[in-house]
């Protein structure tokens, strides 16, 4: 259960109101800084464009940066999982039976006398196979991926 689901209904309501107030304050701050386009501020599109061109970044360069950010946010966990699998990290012990289920403790990979992989868990179980636990993307990585993709698409639509 998430954090908002805990406590009595009054606590949940107050937590929700507090979070809404924080989001509203951030929205007002971004509005008055010019992020939403009606107010001329440091975050308005023209001022951001001037600042980027002052640094030497063109619109095509920004598109390339956004596309690279999209590719990185799309593939970072694939690369990390490939490295983890190759180095023997994130494997869990599969020792057990149907009634009790698998052991599930983190297993360390080593080789036996014949050069085959053996996975050993802290309970002492030794098996030639183990279950790989993949690393999953979090909210931040998915958000960065979607924002960079939306910006890349907006570049071509403009």
Q: What is the pLDDT of residues 65-74, one digit of tens each?
A: 888 988 998 8
Q: What residue numbers bound the domain in which 33 lies?
A: 1-57
52 in a structural domain: yes
1 in a structural domain: yes
Which CA distances in Å does 83 have to 90, 95, 129, 140, 145? 10, 24, 18, 21, 21
pLDDT value of position 35: 83
pLDDT band, residue 19 (cuts 50/70/90): very high
pLDDT value of position 1: 45
The arithmetic mean of pLDDT across residues 35-58, rounded, is: 86
pLDDT band, residue 158 (cuts 50/70/90): low
C-beta separation of 68 from 149 below 8 A: no
32 in a structural domain: yes
DSSP label at residue 108 = E
In which element (H, E) is residue 133 found?
none
Helices (H) and strands (E) in the chain, counts: 4, 7
The arithmetic mean of pLDDT across residues 133-139, rounded, is: 90
Percent helix, percent strand, percent coil in the chain, to nearest 5: 55, 15, 30
The arithmetic mean of pLDDT across residues 31-46, rounded, is: 85
The arithmetic mean of pLDDT across residues 6-33, rounded, is: 92
128 in a structural domain: no
pLDDT value of position 34: 87
14 in a structural domain: yes
Number of separate domains in the chain? 1
pLDDT band, residue 3 (cuts 50/70/90): low
Q: What is the mean pLDDT of the chain?
A: 87
50 in a structural domain: yes
102 in a structural domain: no
45 in a structural domain: yes
Q: How distant is the alpha carbon of residue 34 from its chain centre? A: 28
């Amino acid at each position: 259960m998430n954090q908002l689901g805990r406590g009595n209904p009054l606590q949940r309501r107050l937590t929700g109101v507090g979070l809404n107030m924080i989001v509203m304050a951030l929205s007002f701050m971004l509005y008055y800084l010019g992020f939403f386009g009606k107010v001329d501020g440091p975050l308005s599109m023209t001022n951001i464009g001037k600042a980027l061109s002052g640094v030497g970044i063109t619109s095509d360069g920004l598109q390339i940066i956004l596309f690279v950010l999209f590719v990185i946010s799309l593939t970072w966990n694939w690369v990390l999982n490939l490295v983890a699998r190759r180095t023997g990290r994130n494997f869990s012990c599969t020792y057990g039976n149907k009634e009790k289920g698998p052991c599930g403790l983190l297993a360390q990979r080593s080789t036996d006398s014949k050069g085959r992989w053996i996975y050993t868990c802290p309970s002492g179980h030794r098996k030639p196979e183990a279950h790989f636990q993949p690393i999953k993307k979090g909210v931040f990585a998915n958000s960065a991926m979607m924002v960079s993709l939306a910006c890349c698409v907006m570049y071509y639509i403009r």
